[in-house]
Amino acid sequence: MHLTNLKLSNFKSYGELDADFCPNVNCLVGNNGVGKTNLLDAMYYLSFCKSCRGSGDVPNIRRGEDYFAIHGRYASAGDPAHGAEEATAACVCRKGQPKQMKWNGKVCKTLGEHIGRLPLVMVSPQDQGIIMEGSDARRKFVDGVLAQTDRVYLDHLLQYSRALEQRNKLLKLFWEAGNWDESQIGVWDEQLVRHGTVLRSSRQQFFTDFVPLFDDYYGWITDGKEKGVIRYMADGETPLAQQLAAARKRDRQALFTTVGPHKDDVELTVGDMAVRRFGSQGQQKTFVLALKLAQFEYIFRRGGVKPILLLDDVFDKLDMVRVTQLVELVGSDRFGQVFLTDTQPGRVEGIFDAIPQVEHLIFTVEDGELKQQDARV
Protein backbone atom coordinates (compact mmCIF):
# COMPACT_ATOMS: atom_id res chain seq x y z
CA MET A 1 0.00 0.00 0.00
CA HIS A 2 1.45 3.38 -0.97
CA LEU A 3 0.23 6.97 -0.68
CA THR A 4 -0.72 8.36 -4.08
CA ASN A 5 -2.25 11.68 -2.99
CA LEU A 6 -2.24 13.83 0.14
CA LYS A 7 -4.58 16.75 0.81
CA LEU A 8 -4.16 19.07 3.81
CA SER A 9 -6.35 21.84 5.15
CA ASN A 10 -5.12 24.07 7.99
CA PHE A 11 -2.62 21.50 9.21
CA LYS A 12 0.30 23.14 11.02
CA SER A 13 2.14 25.38 8.53
CA TYR A 14 -0.08 24.39 5.59
CA GLY A 15 -3.24 26.22 4.58
CA GLU A 16 -4.15 24.07 1.60
CA LEU A 17 -2.04 21.39 -0.07
CA ASP A 18 -2.79 18.83 -2.78
CA ALA A 19 0.18 16.64 -3.74
CA ASP A 20 0.74 13.44 -5.71
CA PHE A 21 3.60 11.03 -4.96
CA CYS A 22 5.40 8.17 -6.68
CA PRO A 23 5.35 4.61 -5.27
CA ASN A 24 9.11 4.49 -4.65
CA VAL A 25 11.31 7.30 -3.21
CA ASN A 26 9.94 10.81 -2.61
CA CYS A 27 12.45 13.45 -1.46
CA LEU A 28 11.33 16.57 0.40
CA VAL A 29 14.08 19.19 0.25
CA GLY A 30 14.17 22.58 1.94
CA ASN A 31 15.63 24.68 4.72
CA ASN A 32 14.95 23.98 8.36
CA GLY A 33 11.54 25.12 9.55
CA VAL A 34 9.78 25.18 6.16
CA GLY A 35 7.42 22.27 6.91
CA LYS A 36 9.12 19.09 5.69
CA THR A 37 8.51 17.23 8.94
CA ASN A 38 4.94 18.57 9.05
CA LEU A 39 4.21 16.69 5.83
CA LEU A 40 5.58 13.47 7.30
CA ASP A 41 3.53 14.08 10.44
CA ALA A 42 0.35 14.29 8.35
CA MET A 43 1.15 10.86 6.88
CA TYR A 44 1.86 9.57 10.39
CA TYR A 45 -1.56 10.84 11.53
CA LEU A 46 -3.31 8.80 8.84
CA SER A 47 -1.66 5.62 10.15
CA PHE A 48 -1.64 6.17 13.92
CA CYS A 49 -4.43 8.73 14.51
CA LYS A 50 -1.97 11.03 16.28
CA SER A 51 1.09 13.23 15.80
CA CYS A 52 4.55 11.71 15.66
CA ARG A 53 5.62 14.39 18.13
CA GLY A 54 3.33 13.09 20.85
CA SER A 55 1.50 16.41 21.19
CA GLY A 56 -2.26 16.81 21.39
CA ASP A 57 -4.38 17.47 18.32
CA VAL A 58 -5.45 21.09 18.77
CA PRO A 59 -1.89 22.52 18.65
CA ASN A 60 -1.63 21.12 15.11
CA ILE A 61 -4.44 23.34 13.85
CA ARG A 62 -3.07 26.19 11.76
CA ARG A 63 -2.99 29.46 13.69
CA GLY A 64 -6.22 31.43 13.33
CA GLU A 65 -8.27 28.42 12.19
CA ASP A 66 -10.64 26.16 14.14
CA TYR A 67 -9.98 22.81 12.45
CA PHE A 68 -7.54 20.74 10.42
CA ALA A 69 -8.21 17.98 7.90
CA ILE A 70 -5.89 15.37 6.41
CA HIS A 71 -7.00 13.22 3.46
CA GLY A 72 -4.93 10.44 1.93
CA ARG A 73 -5.55 8.23 -1.08
CA TYR A 74 -3.70 4.91 -1.17
CA ALA A 75 -3.15 2.19 -3.76
CA SER A 76 -1.79 -1.33 -3.62
CA ALA A 77 -0.05 -3.15 -6.45
CA GLY A 78 -2.96 -5.54 -6.83
CA ASP A 79 -3.41 -8.06 -9.57
CA PRO A 80 -2.07 -6.62 -12.86
CA ALA A 81 -5.12 -8.04 -14.62
CA HIS A 82 -7.50 -6.11 -12.38
CA GLY A 83 -5.50 -3.01 -11.56
CA ALA A 84 -4.51 -1.52 -8.23
CA GLU A 85 -6.87 -1.50 -5.28
CA GLU A 86 -7.55 1.93 -3.77
CA ALA A 87 -8.44 3.08 -0.28
CA THR A 88 -8.88 6.41 1.46
CA ALA A 89 -8.15 7.58 4.98
CA ALA A 90 -8.98 10.88 6.64
CA CYS A 91 -8.44 12.62 9.96
CA VAL A 92 -10.47 15.68 10.95
CA CYS A 93 -10.00 17.62 14.17
CA ARG A 94 -12.18 20.55 15.23
CA LYS A 95 -11.69 22.58 18.37
CA GLY A 96 -14.04 21.42 21.10
CA GLN A 97 -15.00 18.19 19.29
CA PRO A 98 -13.62 14.64 19.33
CA LYS A 99 -11.12 13.81 16.61
CA GLN A 100 -12.66 11.81 13.77
CA MET A 101 -10.95 9.13 11.69
CA LYS A 102 -12.48 7.80 8.47
CA TRP A 103 -11.62 4.74 6.40
CA ASN A 104 -13.07 4.59 2.88
CA GLY A 105 -15.50 7.31 3.86
CA LYS A 106 -16.84 5.57 6.98
CA VAL A 107 -16.22 6.94 10.48
CA CYS A 108 -14.15 4.61 12.67
CA LYS A 109 -15.95 3.72 15.89
CA THR A 110 -12.65 3.64 17.79
CA LEU A 111 -9.12 4.76 16.94
CA GLY A 112 -7.86 1.25 17.77
CA GLU A 113 -10.07 -0.06 14.97
CA HIS A 114 -8.01 1.92 12.44
CA ILE A 115 -4.46 1.38 13.72
CA GLY A 116 -2.69 -1.27 11.66
CA ARG A 117 -4.57 -0.67 8.42
CA LEU A 118 -1.81 1.51 6.99
CA PRO A 119 1.54 0.16 8.22
CA LEU A 120 4.14 2.88 8.58
CA VAL A 121 7.62 3.19 10.05
CA MET A 122 9.17 6.57 10.80
CA VAL A 123 12.84 7.28 11.50
CA SER A 124 13.51 10.71 12.98
CA PRO A 125 15.90 12.53 15.34
CA GLN A 126 13.34 11.96 18.10
CA ASP A 127 14.11 8.23 17.94
CA GLN A 128 17.32 8.97 19.80
CA GLY A 129 15.06 8.88 22.84
CA ILE A 130 14.78 5.09 22.48
CA ILE A 131 18.40 5.00 23.61
CA MET A 132 18.85 8.11 25.74
CA GLU A 133 15.55 8.29 27.62
CA GLY A 134 14.08 5.99 30.26
CA SER A 135 12.47 2.60 29.90
CA ASP A 136 9.15 4.18 28.85
CA ALA A 137 10.63 5.08 25.46
CA ARG A 138 11.87 1.56 24.80
CA ARG A 139 8.58 -0.04 25.85
CA LYS A 140 6.75 2.42 23.62
CA PHE A 141 8.89 1.29 20.68
CA VAL A 142 8.12 -2.39 21.31
CA ASP A 143 4.42 -1.78 21.95
CA GLY A 144 4.19 0.35 18.81
CA VAL A 145 5.57 -2.42 16.61
CA LEU A 146 3.35 -5.08 18.15
CA ALA A 147 0.25 -2.86 18.04
CA GLN A 148 0.61 -2.56 14.25
CA THR A 149 0.92 -6.29 13.72
CA ASP A 150 -1.17 -7.93 16.45
CA ARG A 151 -4.64 -6.61 17.19
CA VAL A 152 -5.01 -9.04 20.10
CA TYR A 153 -1.87 -7.57 21.67
CA LEU A 154 -3.21 -4.05 21.17
CA ASP A 155 -6.46 -4.97 22.92
CA HIS A 156 -4.62 -6.51 25.89
CA LEU A 157 -2.32 -3.47 26.05
CA LEU A 158 -5.28 -1.08 26.21
CA GLN A 159 -7.03 -3.20 28.83
CA TYR A 160 -3.86 -3.49 30.91
CA SER A 161 -3.34 0.29 30.77
CA ARG A 162 -6.90 0.93 31.96
CA ALA A 163 -6.57 -1.54 34.83
CA LEU A 164 -3.24 -0.04 35.82
CA GLU A 165 -4.72 3.45 35.87
CA GLN A 166 -7.61 2.31 38.08
CA ARG A 167 -5.33 0.43 40.47
CA ASN A 168 -3.08 3.47 40.87
CA LYS A 169 -6.08 5.69 41.52
CA LEU A 170 -7.27 3.27 44.17
CA LEU A 171 -3.87 3.27 45.91
CA LYS A 172 -4.04 7.06 46.19
CA LEU A 173 -7.64 7.01 47.40
CA PHE A 174 -6.77 4.49 50.13
CA TRP A 175 -3.87 6.66 51.25
CA GLU A 176 -6.04 9.79 51.36
CA ALA A 177 -8.83 7.98 53.27
CA GLY A 178 -6.42 6.20 55.60
CA ASN A 179 -7.85 2.73 54.94
CA TRP A 180 -7.09 -0.36 52.88
CA ASP A 181 -9.39 -2.79 51.09
CA GLU A 182 -7.62 -5.94 49.94
CA SER A 183 -10.59 -7.17 47.91
CA GLN A 184 -10.79 -4.01 45.79
CA ILE A 185 -7.09 -4.13 45.00
CA GLY A 186 -7.50 -7.82 44.19
CA VAL A 187 -10.05 -7.02 41.48
CA TRP A 188 -7.53 -4.93 39.58
CA ASP A 189 -4.71 -7.37 40.28
CA GLU A 190 -6.72 -10.03 38.46
CA GLN A 191 -7.05 -7.72 35.44
CA LEU A 192 -3.34 -6.90 35.45
CA VAL A 193 -2.45 -10.59 35.61
CA ARG A 194 -4.89 -11.52 32.86
CA HIS A 195 -3.65 -8.93 30.39
CA GLY A 196 -0.07 -8.51 31.62
CA THR A 197 0.74 -12.19 31.23
CA VAL A 198 -0.22 -11.99 27.55
CA LEU A 199 1.87 -8.83 27.09
CA ARG A 200 5.01 -10.43 28.48
CA SER A 201 4.54 -13.63 26.52
CA SER A 202 4.00 -11.69 23.29
CA ARG A 203 7.03 -9.51 23.95
CA GLN A 204 9.22 -12.55 24.55
CA GLN A 205 8.17 -14.00 21.20
CA PHE A 206 8.64 -10.61 19.56
CA PHE A 207 12.28 -10.43 20.60
CA THR A 208 12.87 -14.01 19.46
CA ASP A 209 11.72 -12.98 15.97
CA PHE A 210 13.05 -9.42 15.98
CA VAL A 211 16.65 -9.87 17.15
CA PRO A 212 17.86 -11.74 14.01
CA LEU A 213 16.41 -8.95 11.83
CA PHE A 214 18.16 -6.33 13.94
CA ASP A 215 21.43 -8.26 13.75
CA ASP A 216 21.25 -8.33 9.94
CA TYR A 217 20.69 -4.58 9.58
CA TYR A 218 23.22 -3.64 12.25
CA GLY A 219 25.79 -5.80 10.51
CA TRP A 220 24.96 -4.19 7.16
CA ILE A 221 25.30 -0.63 8.47
CA THR A 222 28.61 -1.33 10.27
CA ASP A 223 30.01 -3.70 7.63
CA GLY A 224 30.15 -6.34 10.37
CA LYS A 225 32.71 -4.36 12.39
CA GLU A 226 30.51 -4.10 15.49
CA LYS A 227 27.97 -6.27 17.29
CA GLY A 228 24.87 -4.59 18.65
CA VAL A 229 22.85 -6.45 21.28
CA ILE A 230 19.24 -5.99 22.40
CA ARG A 231 17.88 -7.89 25.38
CA TYR A 232 14.39 -7.88 26.92
CA MET A 233 14.64 -7.24 30.68
CA ALA A 234 11.62 -8.65 32.51
CA ASP A 235 10.95 -10.94 35.44
CA GLY A 236 9.50 -13.80 33.45
CA GLU A 237 10.33 -16.48 36.02
CA THR A 238 7.99 -15.36 38.80
CA PRO A 239 4.24 -15.37 38.01
CA LEU A 240 2.87 -11.85 37.79
CA ALA A 241 0.29 -12.55 40.52
CA GLN A 242 3.10 -13.37 42.95
CA GLN A 243 5.04 -10.25 41.94
CA LEU A 244 2.03 -8.04 42.61
CA ALA A 245 1.37 -9.69 45.97
CA ALA A 246 5.01 -9.35 47.05
CA ALA A 247 5.11 -5.66 46.03
CA ARG A 248 1.83 -4.68 47.70
CA LYS A 249 3.45 -3.04 50.74
CA ARG A 250 5.83 -1.11 48.50
CA ASP A 251 2.93 -0.05 46.25
CA ARG A 252 1.04 1.33 49.26
CA GLN A 253 4.01 3.50 50.14
CA ALA A 254 4.81 4.57 46.59
CA LEU A 255 1.11 5.18 45.72
CA PHE A 256 1.54 3.45 42.35
CA THR A 257 2.06 -0.07 40.99
CA THR A 258 5.78 -0.78 41.09
CA VAL A 259 5.93 -4.12 39.23
CA GLY A 260 4.53 -5.48 36.00
CA PRO A 261 5.01 -5.22 32.23
CA HIS A 262 4.78 -1.43 32.48
CA LYS A 263 8.14 -1.54 34.31
CA ASP A 264 9.98 -3.86 31.90
CA ASP A 265 12.98 -2.53 29.97
CA VAL A 266 15.14 -3.30 26.94
CA GLU A 267 18.93 -3.39 27.33
CA LEU A 268 20.88 -1.97 24.39
CA THR A 269 24.62 -2.61 24.20
CA VAL A 270 27.53 -2.63 21.79
CA GLY A 271 29.73 -5.47 22.93
CA ASP A 272 29.39 -5.26 26.69
CA MET A 273 28.99 -1.46 26.83
CA ALA A 274 25.65 0.32 27.26
CA VAL A 275 24.99 2.41 24.16
CA ARG A 276 23.24 5.03 26.28
CA ARG A 277 26.29 5.74 28.45
CA PHE A 278 29.30 4.79 26.36
CA GLY A 279 28.19 4.81 22.71
CA SER A 280 29.39 7.55 20.38
CA GLN A 281 26.84 9.65 18.50
CA GLY A 282 27.56 7.60 15.41
CA GLN A 283 27.01 4.32 17.27
CA GLN A 284 23.77 5.60 18.76
CA LYS A 285 22.53 6.68 15.34
CA THR A 286 23.52 3.32 13.87
CA PHE A 287 21.65 1.51 16.65
CA VAL A 288 18.48 3.51 16.08
CA LEU A 289 18.62 3.06 12.32
CA ALA A 290 19.07 -0.71 12.66
CA LEU A 291 16.14 -0.87 15.11
CA LYS A 292 13.84 1.00 12.74
CA LEU A 293 14.82 -0.93 9.61
CA ALA A 294 14.30 -4.17 11.56
CA GLN A 295 10.90 -2.78 12.59
CA PHE A 296 10.04 -2.36 8.91
CA GLU A 297 11.13 -5.93 8.14
CA TYR A 298 9.22 -7.36 11.11
CA ILE A 299 5.97 -5.61 10.16
CA PHE A 300 6.31 -6.70 6.54
CA ARG A 301 6.94 -10.34 7.47
CA ARG A 302 4.03 -10.40 9.88
CA GLY A 303 1.46 -8.68 7.69
CA GLY A 304 2.67 -9.25 4.15
CA VAL A 305 2.39 -5.52 3.41
CA LYS A 306 5.43 -3.26 3.09
CA PRO A 307 5.01 -0.28 5.44
CA ILE A 308 5.49 3.24 4.17
CA LEU A 309 8.93 4.35 5.37
CA LEU A 310 9.51 7.94 6.53
CA LEU A 311 13.14 9.04 6.90
CA ASP A 312 13.30 12.45 8.56
CA ASP A 313 16.74 14.07 8.62
CA VAL A 314 18.59 10.76 8.85
CA PHE A 315 21.67 11.76 6.83
CA ASP A 316 23.29 13.77 9.62
CA LYS A 317 26.58 12.18 10.77
CA LEU A 318 26.56 9.70 7.87
CA ASP A 319 29.20 10.05 5.16
CA MET A 320 28.18 10.28 1.49
CA VAL A 321 29.09 6.66 0.79
CA ARG A 322 26.85 5.44 3.61
CA VAL A 323 24.06 7.84 2.64
CA THR A 324 24.08 6.58 -0.95
CA GLN A 325 24.15 2.99 0.25
CA LEU A 326 21.18 3.63 2.54
CA VAL A 327 19.07 5.25 -0.20
CA GLU A 328 19.95 2.47 -2.63
CA LEU A 329 18.79 -0.07 -0.04
CA VAL A 330 15.45 1.59 0.78
CA GLY A 331 14.88 2.33 -2.90
CA SER A 332 15.24 -1.34 -3.82
CA ASP A 333 12.47 -3.91 -4.20
CA ARG A 334 13.13 -4.94 -0.60
CA PHE A 335 11.29 -1.81 0.55
CA GLY A 336 8.12 -0.07 -0.60
CA GLN A 337 7.29 3.63 -0.68
CA VAL A 338 9.80 5.95 0.99
CA PHE A 339 9.64 9.61 1.98
CA LEU A 340 12.87 11.31 3.03
CA THR A 341 13.74 14.85 4.03
CA ASP A 342 16.98 16.75 3.59
CA THR A 343 18.21 20.33 3.77
CA GLN A 344 20.75 20.01 0.95
CA PRO A 345 19.38 19.83 -2.62
CA GLY A 346 22.84 19.14 -4.03
CA ARG A 347 23.29 16.11 -1.80
CA VAL A 348 19.98 14.57 -2.88
CA GLU A 349 20.72 15.16 -6.56
CA GLY A 350 24.18 13.62 -6.11
CA ILE A 351 22.69 10.54 -4.50
CA PHE A 352 20.41 9.82 -7.45
CA ASP A 353 23.13 10.58 -9.96
CA ALA A 354 24.99 7.69 -8.31
CA ILE A 355 21.95 5.36 -8.36
CA PRO A 356 19.96 6.37 -11.46
CA GLN A 357 18.02 3.09 -11.43
CA VAL A 358 15.96 4.14 -8.39
CA GLU A 359 12.60 5.69 -9.29
CA HIS A 360 12.13 8.95 -7.43
CA LEU A 361 10.56 12.38 -7.20
CA ILE A 362 12.25 15.42 -5.68
CA PHE A 363 10.09 18.17 -4.18
CA THR A 364 11.14 21.58 -2.93
CA VAL A 365 9.30 22.60 0.24
CA GLU A 366 8.95 26.35 0.68
CA ASP A 367 6.39 28.68 2.28
CA GLY A 368 3.74 26.01 2.74
CA GLU A 369 4.03 24.82 -0.85
CA LEU A 370 5.37 21.67 -2.47
CA LYS A 371 6.98 22.01 -5.90
CA GLN A 372 8.12 19.05 -7.96
CA GLN A 373 11.74 19.62 -8.89
CA ASP A 374 12.92 16.47 -10.63
CA ALA A 375 11.72 13.03 -11.61
CA ARG A 376 13.37 9.89 -12.83
CA VAL A 377 11.86 6.49 -13.56
pLDDT value, residue 84 = 62
pLDDT value, residue 33 = 87
Paired strand residues for 273 = 270
Residue partners of 81: CB distance under 8 A and separation at least 6? none
**Does residue 53 contact residue 126 with C-beta atoms inside 8 Å?**
yes
pLDDT value, residue 125 = 87
Q: Domain limits of the chain?
A: 1-119+305-377
**Among candidates 116, 1, 9, which has minimal Cα distance to 71?**
9
| Rounded CA separation 34/36 (Å) | 6
pLDDT value, residue 286 = 86
**Among candidates 119, 124, 114, which has minimal Cα distance to 91?**
114
pLDDT value, residue 81 = 45
Residue partners of 21: CB distance under 8 A and separation at least 6? 2, 3, 4, 5, 6, 337, 339, 361
pLDDT value, residue 77 = 64
- Single pTM value for the model: 0.86
pLDDT value, residue 79 = 45
pLDDT value, residue 197 = 96
> For 1-119+305-377, which CATH class?
alpha beta
Task: For 174-197, give one letter per residue: b (16+ CB within 10 A) or e.
Answer: beeeeeeeeeebeebbebbbebbb
pLDDT value, residue 282 = 81
**Does residue 43 contact residue 120 with C-beta atoms inside 8 Å?**
yes
* Per-run averaged pLDDT (10 residues), the chain, 377 residues: 95 94 93 92 95 88 95 77 77 94 94 89 92 94 92 94 97 94 94 97 97 93 88 90 95 96 95 88 88 94 92 80 82 91 86 85 87 63
pLDDT value, residue 377 = 44
